[in-house]
Structure 1
Amino acid sequence: FSHLPVVHPENEEWTCFEQSASLDIKSFFGFESTVEKIAMKQYASSIKKGKEIIEYYLRELEEEGITYVPRWSPCPPSPTKPVVPVVIPALPITPTISIEAPPESVNEIQVYKLDADYIKRYLGDLTPLQESCLIRLRRWLQETHKGKIPKDEHILRFLRARDFNIDKAREILCQSLTWRKQHQVDYLLDTWSSPQVLHDYYTGGWHHHDKDGRPLYILRLGHMDTKGLVRALGEESLLRHVLSINEEGLRRCEENTKVFGRPISCWTCLVDLEGLNMRHLWRPGVKALLRIIEVVEANYPETLGRLLILRAPRVFPVLWTLVSPFIDENTRKKFLIYAGNDYQGPGGLVDYIDKEIIPDFLGGECMCEVPEGGLVPKSLYRTAEELENDEIRLWTETIYQSASIFKGAPHELLIEIIDASSVITWDFDVCKGDVIFNIYHSKRAPQPPRKDPLATHGITSPAGNNVQLIDKSWLLGQDYSMVESPLTCKEGESVQGSHVTRWPGFYILQWRFHSMPACATTNLPRVDDVLATLQVSSHKCKVMYYTEVLGSEDFRCDVVEDLRFGFPQKKE
């Protein structure tokens, strides 16, 4: 591995920073490709940290007014005097923390200060800086996500996962909110019904709580037939089941907060590895496990308070080597691993769980209702085609659609209105890039979108799910008219709105590419500017949307219901 600065080959006034790595895997139990991916992920993380360090010092130079640094050259030693090494003591550096104040006055800021009793009762100890970060992120969500706003406890988890760095927390939180909306995770507990094979052979379940009042989940992984479950259910059904477990955990945390009178925002997981062997390292099963970990880490940060791993066998280090790189460093610090019967002594299970609720299969007296598992009968196995169709069904069970927008190729949606005074409602997220949202009206129906000529030759168009309806020969103001002012929407924003139709006919909802202004040039270009330029050059945006047409009376009822629950619709 190397990380060397070199002079740019075409401009000697520039410095290039290069990193390189070499990896040679001879044999790793058939998981050579997986280990390569793990190494690449670690390497990519290292590159990202290096970029942040370089940007930090570039900003320091800019703030000091330094726009040019001469090339360093070593001083030749004096021929008459011996070279004596000089030790320069390190200068004391006092770290400074700048808090971006909201634009409101001091009195308005005080209004948004959280109540001390509320913090103590529901959120836990927060420093003034942490409280400020929570308020600022919540208010940003209220300004950009006009619909339902997550609870403070949920926002706080993402802030803690990024050490209260608002920009980083906002990025992963917005991605998670979009993911939750796309797959309707908020309704998962009401809509997901676990197949019977999970009830019989999935060896996990909730079991009372630990000494801190956290909900306790027990997983007897060593008794689970991972291969049988994957072959009988598929990867997507297992993922959906694990997500329902996490949603249930969040609900139990809220209940325990009320019961114990103190904030409980995470749960404890006890994993019993008795019976774990090489058959659990079946590659499709490990692949499914890694994907589940990745999804959970991205969308449920700081929900695991403690992980107790008991009776770890000799094969456990192999599984740990495969899994640990996909687990956040802060999460790994919460792992406590016991080999053999070490969990029964001092510093073991009794330090975290009351003796009377220790399960009977761990030497306790409490009867545990977690299934014992066993091998899934091969008669329940499904063919690859059946599993693929089921996975497609699971991921398409969403009311939201996605579309790509390119420069010069907007995405358009046609809505036919029969009765005037109907209400067109929309709800969309800008997943990538910036877009401009328009609504047009036409008395005549646009022609159906022409079939992609590339598709007739077996070539897939890069536009994918991009639909254009307005013919290029149409004239604005003659063939169609604009009925709403254009709305510019930034990346990461969630937009809800409605339009009351005045005439029957055909309405076209349009999302088009918004060209970003050219980046300001400086003597010391920042990496963010370079990345922004690359993003503009890609000429691609992406939105996820849902629309519905309501009668005026139905719409008013919906608005009243939304206001009752504190989630008013944005009116356009």
Structure 2
Amino acid sequence: MVQKYQSPVRVYKHPFELVMAAYERRFPTCHLIPMFVDSDVISEETSEDRSFHRIERRCKLDVDAPRLLKRIAGVDYVYFIQKNSLNHRERTLHIESHNETFSNRVIIHELCCYSVHPENEEWTCFEQSASLDIKSFFGFESTVEKIAMKQYASSIKKVGSHTAFFKNHIHTCWFIFQLAIVDDLEPESNLNGAKQHLCLDKLDADYIKRYLGDLTPLQESCLIRLRRWLQETHKDEHILRFLRARDFNIDKAREILCQSLTWRKQHQVDYLLDTWSSPHVLHDYYTGGWHHHDKDGRPLYILRLGHMDTKGLVRALGEESLLRHVLSINEEGLRRCEENTKVFGRPISCWTCLVDLEGLNMRHLWRPGVKALLRIIEVVEANYPETLGRLLILRAPRVFPVLWTLVSPFIDENTRKKFLIYAGNDYQGPGGLVDYIDKEIIPDFLGGECMCEVPEGGLVPKSLYRTAEELENDEIRLWTETIYQSASIFKGAPHELLIEIIDASSVITWDFDVCKGDVIFNIYHSKRAPQPPRKDPLATHGITSPAGNNVQLIDKSWLLGQDYSMVESPLTCKEGESVQGSHVTRWPGFYILQWKFHSMPACATTNLPRVDDVLATLQVSSHKCKVMYYTEVLGSEDFRGSMTSLESSHSGFSQLSAATTSSSQSQSNSMISR
């Protein structure tokens, strides 16, 4: 679905010609718009009477992302093509822009128009519209479109024109001036006088220094005014977090604080630490926990996200339980901050979080899990502002930009500034972990000598999974409304999926669950396209497909090794298993993903059959299997440098699987995740 944006008409109270002169000053660069780095003229033409001017430029933009993230994504800048048509006679400027970078995955189209105000020729109107279409993004197209359009609408408010810069400056000065004349104070009164007038119960200086930190007179005034307005007993530290989150804008801080207080009462969050008992599965498989403190005395929380079975936790607990567990962590963090404030004798209002991404792969982008993560981020951002002092992201793999793209728009801009991202072992040198955490408490799994009690995680046993009936209505929807397709596999009638590859070194990724029976998964390559699938693929076997979701592409006359070839070793998948993997294509052509019925081998011994063998035989007699699958093709030009991580992403959980299931130890192919 294409997302569209239409701005309201802006009116600049300046003549069209003056606005055009200001507009042209942004080329080829503009220091007032830092993200606009440079521009080059591609083509230009002017009419003979010079009344019409058309110019096409290639514009270079600096993307808003950490330097390491840009390096991982393989881009430092984003390029747009802009076509301007200026008509001096009609006094109009039409601007058409579209992105050049990642254009095969994302299409951004923007239209702008400057024109004379219909009622005042000395004024200029400005209109702006844009559309965004995500062609391919791991099944999250709709989500990413909405996120990106939200970010776009926010960004254009910041860089709409040169006049906006001066307008914001004037507004700031006027705001300060208003503070000086609150309650009929004289304009020449200083801010200390305003503070005294507004707050008869001035905070004690020693109390501020001991528990709140350095506050300017204006900040202290805002804190007391908001506390008095609430007419309730609330901790100053709690109120101060919301003020800082809104740059001490009292109206905005009061709005979000009131919403949060209502939320806390509604969900009894104040009593969460006393009433919430974490399920046993969280103690064993949630790879997070508190670990001493950093060099600033902030409580340190460690999360080994790359070792966490996010899909298993969602299936075993549901979204609501995971959310309440994260809320309990935040409540515990606030309590630890209060304790450390007393221990260190200085205000400590936030904590440090260390996230280890070793093992992070495409499996962690399971759609319901990401949706649960986005909801958790949204709730935490709304109710625990300014509680994160620093976030250290260690051993970030090359697939990390995909996850970052999904979650970063939900994170406050001030919070994103606290992120420090390290790839590989960069965190071990100067400017790394030792700058923020004492060497004596660096966890052993990060090369330190301190034993860390954070669980190592592993695969959540399927015996702990909850059925759809046991989950809440929203969790049922979370699991059932997915991007997956279902297919039936019959004995003698495999299900096959055709993928055409134009460019070699593209990446085919897959994620499928074996819902019923055992199947064999194969990948084949052919230089020629298979014939359209037969309408009744099971007719030759005397079986009628009840669902019509079985497709066969490989003709019976084709010979393996002559008409088509196998590009991956066959993979046997048992009922109930989830399989994720990827294949970097070596040649263009047609790739066929095949799920084939797995027949049990004949018994090789003369012993009496076991109960499991009898049940397996009964299962085979049904001659039917079922899978739910999702596939994605990634272009090499979009993810330069990421091919190695994508190719190995399915092996991230193979070591965990080997430790938890004996059957996986015999699997040499690392695509089995559990």
Q: What's the TM-score bracket when you normalise by the shorter of the two chains? A: 0.5 to 0.7
1:156 aligns with 2:244: no
Residues 1:225 and 1:400: Cα distance change in structure 2 (over 3 Å): closer
- Considering only aligned residues, what root-mean-square deviation do their CA atoms show, in Å? 26.7
1:116 aligns with 2:205: yes
CA distance in 1: counterparts of 2:150 and 2:516, whole angstroms: 23
CA distance in 2: counterparts of 1:517 and 1:428, whole angstroms: 24
State the 4+ residue runs in structure 1 displaced beyond 4 angstroms: 7-17, 46-49, 91-101, 389-556, 559-569
Cα distance per residue 1:359-390 (max 9 Å; x no partner): 01001111100000001111111112211169
Q: Offset at 1:45?
A: 2.9
TM-score (norm 2): 0.47
CA distance in 2: counterparts of 1:139 and 1:530, whole angstroms: 75
Residues 1:211 and 1:419: Cα distance change in structure 2 (over 3 Å): closer
CA distance in 2: counterparts of 1:100 and 1:404, whole angstroms: 80
Cα distance per residue 1:10-68 (max 9 Å; x no partner): 9999986543111122211222112112113213434776xxxxxxxxxxxxxxxxxxx
Count of matched residue positions in the alignment of Structure 1 and Structure 2: 508
Contact 1:420–1:502 (Cα < 8 Å) also in 2: yes
CA distance in 2: counterparts of 1:265 and 1:140, whole angstroms: 23
Contact 1:144–1:494 (Cα < 8 Å) also in 2: no
Identity over aligned pairs, percent: 96
Cα distance per residue 1:225-277 (max 9 Å; x no partner): 00000011111110110000000000000000000000000000000000000
Contact 2:581–2:649 (Cα < 8 Å) also in 1: no
Contact 1:215–1:268 (Cα < 8 Å) also in 2: yes
Contact 1:178–1:429 (Cα < 8 Å) also in 2: no
Cα distance per residue 1:442-495 (max 9 Å; x no partner): 999999999999999999999999999999999999999999999999999999
Q: Offset at 1:217?
A: 0.2
- Alignment partner, residue 21 of structure 1: 130
Residues 1:377 and 1:143: Cα distance change in structure 2 (over 3 Å): closer
CA distance in 2: counterparts of 1:509 and 1:475, whole angstroms: 17
CA distance in 2: counterparts of 1:318 and 1:380, whole angstroms: 30
Contact 2:300–2:354 (Cα < 8 Å) also in 1: yes
275-284 vs 424-433, which deviates more? 424-433
Residues 1:279 and 1:177: Cα distance change in structure 2 (over 3 Å): same
Structure ranking higher on relative contact order (CA contacts 8 Å, 6+ apart) = 1
Q: Which stretches in structure 1 are left out of the alignment for 5+ residues?
A: 1-6, 50-90, 102-110, 146-150
Cα distance per residue 1:137-189 (max 9 Å; x no partner): 111111799xxxxx100000011111111111111111111111111110111
Residues 1:254 and 1:519: Cα distance change in structure 2 (over 3 Å): farther
Cα distance per residue 1:399-447 (max 9 Å; x no partner): 9999999999999999999999999999999999999999999999999
CA distance in 2: counterparts of 1:506 and 1:314, whole angstroms: 27
Which structure would you say has the larger Rg? 2
CA distance in 2: counterparts of 1:434 and 1:14, whole angstroms: 72
Q: Offset at 1:301?
A: 0.5
Residues 1:418 and 1:223: Cα distance change in structure 2 (over 3 Å): closer
374-383 vs 466-475, which deviates more? 466-475
Cα distance per residue 1:329-377 (max 9 Å; x no partner): 1101100111001111111111111111110100111110000000111
CA distance in 2: counterparts of 1:443 and 1:450, whole angstroms: 20
Residues 1:454 and 1:35: Cα distance change in structure 2 (over 3 Å): same
Contact 2:519–2:574 (Cα < 8 Å) also in 1: yes
CA distance in 2: counterparts of 1:216 and 1:403, whole angstroms: 47
From the two aligned structures, give the one with the greater strand fraction.
Answer: 2
CA distance in 1: counterparts of 2:128 and 2:442, whole angstroms: 51
Residues 1:166 and 1:435: Cα distance change in structure 2 (over 3 Å): farther
208-217 vs 505-514, which deviates more? 505-514
233-242 vs 38-47, which deviates more? 38-47
Contact 1:183–1:397 (Cα < 8 Å) also in 2: no
CA distance in 1: counterparts of 2:260 and 2:616, whole angstroms: 22
Contact 1:423–1:551 (Cα < 8 Å) also in 2: yes
521-530 vs 337-346, which deviates more? 521-530
1:398 aligns with 2:482: yes
Q: Which stretches in structure 2 are left out of the alignment for 5+ residues?
A: 1-115, 159-178, 190-199, 656-672
TM-score (norm 1): 0.55
Residues 1:99 and 1:193: Cα distance change in structure 2 (over 3 Å): farther
Residues 1:450 and 1:372: Cα distance change in structure 2 (over 3 Å): closer
Residues 1:303 and 1:418: Cα distance change in structure 2 (over 3 Å): same
Residues 1:541 and 1:30: Cα distance change in structure 2 (over 3 Å): closer
Contact 2:359–2:653 (Cα < 8 Å) also in 1: no
Residues 1:166 and 1:409: Cα distance change in structure 2 (over 3 Å): farther
CA distance in 1: counterparts of 2:187 and 2:537, whole angstroms: 55
1:273 aligns with 2:361: no
